[in-house]
Structure 1
């Protein structure tokens, strides 16, 4: 007779203690430093990343190595506990970000959004790929095909960050302006294309960049996933939301949306793509559903913004090592990458706007607004590190680009937007946008579809 398998042992008490201390310390530091950054008009993301930098290899490991080794053991089984919490946070964050996608608004922008987004993607992507081939060996992980690294760097430099841009536009009272809506809709296109490009390159990173069959298979699977999502996913989302809405309160809707995010993420991961792609597509389907009661998701957005997302960004900071910049080759490469990231995105957006016959100041505002990489670039950097494409040095450089560009965006956007005269329609919309509420983390409670 077959004997029942022995139960899996629970987490040892010392490991549980370390895990709880990690969570408490990282969340506490991320919250305090995030609020401090916001107080000075900087993105909260900056403070949350600094929480990880303080207790990571950049500082604590050098000042108190014994304490660092105890608090952040290098044993993967123990370190992955805090990683798992961060991954849950990023999947929910990306899913909620996907809810900002408004295909109808993008269609209404028509040729203008297409030109701006197209040029804003192609120029920094091409420049990023170009400098990727010139990167020093310290930036490329061992055994990685240079083409894969170059493609990955190009994608990292061509994206924008919807949550950060939306927050900046709200704080500057530009979301009701035509230029604010155009910036947000173009950022949506950028990120949708960016997630799909990232998924294809992620497959190439594991299958080999020069394997044409791998690339063709990835594109075919990606197309099949999108088709299934549009045909079956939309109906499934609507049915689940209607069923969840029958229950009183918001708990059932929050649980249903979370389950859909996670299962969609699992589906794309099983196909060999990044899990965040599934969460993003699912979020877009949920956000476009007429059966969605947005107010019911406010508690989920609050929890993600106040707890899970700060933990994720703190863990992202843990993997940064600013001492890498002491290497002259890495420092020069970092300066070049930052310059190309800023100039490429700005030039691309400006060129696209001028082709679409927007004014010079509108083109400058678009270049300034879309330059904010923020959340999305940090996530892409984490993906590259997990796939073994990036080294600690290149990861640190890419995250620094996200931070610097997010800090640069507000003053440049304020200067350009002040030169654009408002119209009557914007005055009407201003009253509506004044009613929008934000969560403590600064994320939009309403979706872009409702705006």
Structure 2
């Protein structure tokens, strides 16, 4: 039955509404059982096709999706596919690979070569059963062994970067060696696999050797122009974004036009529209473009995930007929699953082990590299569109994509449990610090470095003066809420992490902090207080410098720092506070260092820190003896005698003679017990060493 244009439009509106509802429902069900939403949405697309809806009495699938309406849905599906491939390219950042080229390259190459070879070999058994394909116009087309072998090889080799990244984000594995290497390997895998697929499409569509050479040459020219000419022009988008403060409609229009034109060009060249979209995503700005990238992702996913991709799943489901599988399909499906799972696992595992990675970590990487998801459907849809895969083989390959993706998360929990993740996180942190025994001072900053950060760094240097020291600048970035992103959720703001590290390293490089070595530590955290305690344990820092704002937000963690020297700086007042015990404290205010000594070990430590602050900044020092006894006061005066030869004014008063300056933060600071390092050395001897070192550098 033919429908009019108005009726077709009405059917499209109805069908899209049904598709959105079913896709969201199945996606939620998938997440409820710890599966990526895409698994549920693929199942939804299959359910609305001949595998379920069409198998029910009354041919419900053809009533809901009439044959003359399907072409309109296919156009929308192809548009969704183009946007998806742009997002894949946008998420692909070569910075993931830097410094890991050898290991990630070995894993990626092995995880492509082995499954590709096994997939091509399996074709020798499958080709005689699938050597002809019935096209949409009911014409029969022969499938060459070479074309099928190439497509099967590529289909077995692919890794779904978005799904892999989502699993890592959900399990917080992006901070582990396994997570970092899996992402880097998947990035290389994507580059190699899509390049290989473009070459395969050129061979299949080109036919003659001359035509294949023409398509490959034009594709290479297109890539050269995009990376050499268009990429520098797109870098201006960052300046545009910084001036506007957001992604404006005009900016989004530029991006969309670029995506669509790139897709059109590669379609005209003869490879496929998805390759143009992928390349345009890959050349989008990366430097200082974290926020812009995230906004673009959020805006495009509203269109892609909610509207267009579910249509693609349904259109894909039209070609899947599980109930129509023949009796001989069982062994073929088992063969496909064995080749897909075994080939990818063996390849990635061997690649990881060849780089001397432990067995558990190698297994985890191999499991992650086995995820295929929506990316696999893209390749399969191209194969079906070109007439390489018949309905039965296409159905079995879609089932393989679902099974390999669904298995990844539960297998990963067995092979790489939470305890192993936490162990590797701590091991990575310790490895970054090295084995060298240093006197470490940890500086926790709240945001991008500024004046307050500089003052905190100088305070840390004062606390570490005269020692073989290392200053660690630590920043806890808020753990990204990726609930609003389903495809681009991958790495929770990895670009933001890279930008934060770069800002702090640049700041540290231009800030003079004496002879102390400065390192930068950044991590995502939903509980900064807890993570700070772990970081202190890992780094074995003797002193931690905090801002008053941070202590207010993380009071419980601040109170828990009962075995660590803590220095608290307030940006509201020009003061630096050292808190130690109930009475011992240090403040630097308006050119004068104040120290309060309660006569305890905490007090001795406070005196030493105040001395460092005074000698390094050449400020006056006022020492307050909390103990009213004359003996305590004389002892403190004697200890500070070495400072009299410097440009430092020293005054020792008793607590009864001294009143705290207005806005005294010492009273409000939480009680913190200081751990003394090297307490066998007297206060006088340490101060003398500090003064001598100061004089030597003048």
The answer, yes or no, to whether TM exceeds 0.5 is yes
Q: CA 1:126–1:48 in structure 2 vs 1: closer, same or farther (change >3 Å)?
A: same
- Name 1:29's counterpart in structure 2: 22
Which runs of structure 2 are paired with 1:139-178 in the superposition (5 Å)? 139-140=130-131, 141=133, 142-178=141-177
- The equivalent of 2:221 in structure 1 is 224
Measured after TM superposition, the shift of residue 116 of structure 1 is: 0.4
Change in Cα spacing, 1:430 to 1:160, as seen in structure 2 (3 Å) is farther
Question: 1:327-364: CA deviations, max 9, x gaps?
Answer: 12322212101110000000000111111111111111
Q: CA deviation at 1:370?
A: 0.4
C-alpha contact 2:120 2:149 (8 A) present in aligned 1: yes
| Structure 2 Cα separation of the partners of residues 71 and 178 of structure 1 | 49
Look up the match of 2:80. Answer: 89
Q: Mean alpha-carbon deviation: is it higher for 154-163 or for 293-302?
A: 293-302
| Contact 1:342/1:371, CA 8 A, preserved across alignment | yes
Whether 2:424 is the aligned partner of 1:422: answer: yes
1:41 is matched with 34
Tell which deviates more after alignment, 365-374 or 53-62: 53-62
Give 1:316's aligned residue. Answer: 316
Report 1:231-242 matches (<5 A).
231-240=228-237, 242=239
| Cα distance in 1, alignment partners of residues 314 and 278 from structure 2 | 22
Counterpart CA distance in 2 for 1:67 and 1:28 is 17
Determine the structure 2 residue equivalent to 1:435. 480
Separation (CA, whole Å) in 1 of partners of 2:245 and 2:496:
23
Deviates more, 1:143-152 or 1:242-251: 242-251
- Shift in Å, 1:26: 1.2
DSSP 3-state at the match of 2:484: coil
**How many angstroms apart in 1 are the aligned matches of 2:162 and 2:182?**
12
More deviation in 249-258 or 365-374? 249-258
SS at match of 1:62: coil
Please state how far the C-alpha of 1:108 moved relative to its aligned partner: 1.6
CA shift, 1:225, in A, is: 2.0
- Alpha carbons 2:79, 2:308 under 8 Å: kept: yes
Residue 55 of structure 1 is matched in structure 2 by 48
Q: Distance in 2 between matches of 1:47 and 1:179?
A: 27
Distance 2:375 2:494 in 1: 17
The structure carrying a bigger strand percent of its residues is 2
1:354 and 2:344 correspond: no
- 5+ residue gaps, structure 1, are 1-9
How many residues are matched? 437
Q: Distance in 1 between matches of 2:188 and 2:246?
A: 34
Please state whether the residue corresponding to 2:50 is helix, strand or coil: coil
Show structure 2 runs of 5+ residues with no match.
Answer: 134-140, 433-473, 498-698
Change (3 A) 1:243 1:442: closer
In the alignment, is residue 300 of structure 1 matched against residue 295 of structure 2? Answer: no
> Which piece of structure 1 moves more, 23-32 or 288-297?
288-297
Normalised to the residue count of structure 2, the TM-score between the two structures is: 0.59
1:3 aligns with: none
Q: Find out whether 1:109 has 2:100 as its counterpart.
A: yes
Q: 1:32 to 1:167 in 2, by over 3 A?
A: same
What SS class does the counterpart of residue 94 from structure 1 fall into?
Answer: helix
Deviations 1:273-315 (A, max 9, x none): 1111111111111153545622432222344233322232232
Does the aligned pair in 2 maintain the 1:241–1:256 contact within 8 Å?
no
Tell me, what secondary structure is at the counterpart of 2:14? helix
Matched with 1:260 is 258
Cα 1:307/1:287, change in 2 over 3 Å: farther
Task: Spell out the pairing of 1:166-205 with structure 2 (5 A cutoff).
Answer: 166-205=165-204
| Residue 131, structure 1, aligned to residue 125, structure 2 | no
- Tell me whether 1:213 sits opposite 2:210 in the alignment: yes
Larger radius of gyration: 2
Q: Distance in 1 between matches of 2:123 and 2:162?
A: 27
With over 3 angstroms needed to count, the CA separation of the structure-2 counterparts of 1:150 and 1:320, relative to structure 1, is same
Q: Residues of 1 paired with 2:226 and 2:127: CA distance?
A: 41
1:341–1:373 distance in 2 versus 1, CA, 3 Å: same
CA distance in 2, matches of 1:409, 1:62: 30
Distance in 2, matches of 1:287 and 1:184, equals: 19
Deviation at 1:378, TM superposition (A): 0.8
| 1:15 paired to 2:8 | yes
Q: Give TM-score scaled by structure 1 length.
A: 0.90
Compared CA separation, residues 442 and 431, structure 1 to 2 (3 A):
farther
CA distance, structure 2, for counterparts of residue 88 and residue 375 of structure 1: 15
Tell me the C-alpha RMSD between the 2 structures. 2.5
Q: Distance in 1 between matches of 2:34 and 2:361?
A: 23
Find 1:74's aligned residue among 49, 67, 74. 67
Q: Distance in 1 between matches of 2:223 and 2:31?
A: 38
1:60 aligns to what SS in structure 2? coil
After TM superposition, give the deviation of residue 62 of structure 1 in Å. 2.5
Q: Structure 1 287/415 Cα, relative in aligned 2: closer, same or farther at 3 Å?
A: farther
Alignment match, 1:270: 268
Question: Larger deviation: 438-447 or 424-433?
Answer: 424-433
Query: Does the 8 Å contact 1:302/1:441 carry over to 2?
Result: no
